[in-house]
Structure 1
Amino acid sequence: MYRMPIYYQTNPTYTYPAGTMMPPAGTIMPPVGAGVTPTQGGGIDVPGMLPSEESYIENILRLNRGKVATVHATFENNREWNAKIFKGLIEAAGRDHLILSDPQTGKRILLPMVYLDYVTFDEEIEYDYPLGGGGGSGSLASYPPR
């Protein structure tokens, strides 16, 4: 005898009480009274800490364009090499990629961020962002890590 699968379906007619604001999907809510508030992007603002949407790795890499970086990457299920180290000047960084160049050979490397494990620098790095949207400048160094 063939049985049809049973699927759970939420009730589309359910409504929340008037004035109730639901957080965006994926927002992790802190305990009540923890002194933190959800941000518009779904992250959480903690007093004294940098807003999470400004601390993405691609932003930090962009701030350090022109500096030599050593990038450690892992490529799962690769028969030739599982992990690889790339060294070069940071030319550009986007949400999903990093471009490095080797000034001696002129060779450029386009590395998808999904493979990036970590980045090291042999010098100090820039870690400064404009805060508050009013053109002011603040240093990330004054914020504790998340």
Structure 2
Amino acid sequence: MPMNAPTSGPQVPGMLPVEASYIENILRLNKGKLATVYTTFENNKEWNAKIFKGIIEAAGRDHLIISDPQTGKRYLIPMVYLDYITFDEEIEYEYPFGGAGLATYSPR
């Protein structure tokens, strides 16, 4: 018996489909924008919380890469340490061209 593809939820104009609303997809939409990234590193005696400010270069399922425009230094930040991100400008949330390039994952 053939298996049918899972049905997606309701499509809301101006919003990513529910199954595509992963943080890395939202970050990819905003590649090239300046962001302030707030992180927490548990059990770290040197610094428990750290703030990074930089240009979003890439985002994956488990990481974010930003570059500091002042120094050119690049940071690879594991998503597990990510608390939240702020932008000083409007952010993109809708993928152009029918969602090409969105990460989708099978249910766990």
When the two structures are superposed, what TM-score results if normalisation uses the length of structure 1? 0.57
Kindly indicate whether residue 9 of structure 2 is the aligned counterpart of residue 45 of structure 1: yes
Partner of 1:26: none
Alignment length, in residue pairs? 95
Between Structure 1 and Structure 2, whose CA radius of gyration is higher? 1
**More RCO (CA 8 Å, sep 6+):** 2
Cα deviation, residue 46, structure 1: 5.4
Partner of 2:65: 99
Q: Deviations over 1:62-87 (max 9, x none)?
A: 00001000000010000011111000
Any runs of at least 4 consecutive aligned residues in structure 1 with deviations exceeding 4 A, and if so which?
46-50
Partner of 1:29: none
Q: 1:40 to 1:109 in 2, by over 3 A?
A: same
The within-5 A match list for 1:74-113 is 74-113=40-79
Kindly indicate whether residue 16 of structure 2 is the aligned counterpart of residue 65 of structure 1: no
Cα deviation, residue 45, structure 1: 2.9
Q: Write the distance in 1 (CA, Å) between the matches of 2:30 and 2:41.
A: 25
Output the amino acid matched with 1:129: Y
Q: Calculate percent identity across the aligned residue pairs.
A: 75
Output the amino acid matched with 1:92: A
When the two structures are superposed, what TM-score results if normalisation uses the length of structure 2? 0.75
Output the amino acid matched with 1:116: L
Partner of 1:122: 88
Secondary structure of 2:35's partner? strand
RMSD value, Cα: 2.5
Q: 1:80 to 1:52 in 2, by over 3 A?
A: same
Q: Write the distance in 1 (CA, Å) between the matches of 2:29 and 2:16.
A: 16
Q: Write the distance in 2 (CA, Å) between the matches of 1:47 and 1:101.
A: 34
